[in-house]
Structure 1
Amino acid sequence: MKISVITVGKIKEKYLKDAIAEYSKRLSKYCKLEIVEVADEKTPDNASETVETMIRAKEGERILKHVKDDAYVVTLEIQGKQVTSEELAKKIDKLGIQGVSHITFIIGGSIGLGEEVLERSNYALSFSKMTFPHQLMRVILLEQIYRSYRIIHGEPYHK
């Protein structure tokens, strides 16, 4: 299985880079992981909805350039479906059984995802009704993908 994580913006903090590197290393046992960072747009303070829509569209174009036609796309959205770790593991496992060989997870920028990206999504996933920094969300997502593979393989970790 190939797992792609497409994210808006770069990671600046060393502790987050270290965590991402650690989970990337752990995941290499289970899947081929690819992390793609696309440039973010500066959002002015008190930006109008029109400006925010334009920013999401620009970031969305950059994201969609990296989405392969055959990929099953999971967007991270506050309004998405909340699942347990076991349910996420079951979803990943079921996709593999159904012949999906490439899952792409998309983490938007600070103001969310553009309409075109949302339309391309096969599954909207939410980790919480709370908002998290998108840099931290990358670590949380990788940890949950790793946890999923441990669950799928019946290995200890998830409790």
Structure 2
Amino acid sequence: MFIKILCFGKLDNRLFQQLFDFYQTKIQKKINFEVIELKENYQAETKVNLEVNSNLLQEKINKFSDYEVILLDVDAPMLSSEEFAQAIAKNKDLKTGKLLLVIGPSDGYDQAFKMNYPRISFGKITFPHQLFRLILAEQIYRALKIIGHEQYHK
């Protein structure tokens, strides 16, 4: 199985980087896992940011046409850890075994862009991007443990 995270920015906080590396190492023992970082475009107007960054995402997504794309979006339906694990297992067992999880830019996705892809949410609160990348890595690891019927703390 292949899982890629497509996101904006780098982990520039040493603590977040160490914790992310911890989960990345665990994940990579189970699957092929990679993070693709994009440079976010900031303009004076939010509407411009939405369009430019969504276009940048679309260009990158087009390079992974054999991957199932899921957008992480605070306004999307919320999934539990078990439901997230089911989504990963379904991709692994019934689809391509390739999953591209997208963390959007700080201003969010362009409305037209986000309607092209399935979306999920881990809750209605907004996290800083660096923290959310860590949370997503932990949830991927948790999902892989659930799929493998392995013990994991609650």
More moved, 126-135 vs 61-70: 61-70
Q: How does 1:1-159 map to 2 (within 5 A)?
A: 1-44=1-44, 51-67=45-61, 68-115=64-111, 117-121=113-117, 123-159=118-154
Distance 2:33 2:111 in 1: 26
Which SS does the other structure have where 1:82 is aligned? coil
What does residue 48 of structure 1 align with? none
Tell me by how many angstroms 1:39 deviates.
0.5
Percent identity over paired residues: 29
TM-superposition CA deviations, 1:34-90 (whole Å, max 9, x none): 10110012354xxxxxx2121122112222232211211111111111111111111
TM-superposition CA deviations, 1:112-132 (whole Å, max 9, x none): 1224541331x2111111111
Aligned residues: CA RMSD? 1.5
Q: Give the TM-score of the pair, scaled to structure 2.
A: 0.91
More moved, 112-121 vs 83-92: 112-121
Distance 1:99 1:129 in 2: 29
Q: Which amino acid aligns with 1:118?
A: K
Unmatched runs of 5 consecutive residues or more in structure 2: none
Unmatched runs of 5 consecutive residues or more in structure 1: 45-50
Q: How many pairs are equivalent? A: 152
Distance 1:116 1:158 in 2: 39
Q: Give the TM-score of the pair, scaled to structure 1.
A: 0.88
Tell me by how many angstroms 1:139 deviates.
0.4
Q: Which amino acid aligns with 1:35?
A: V
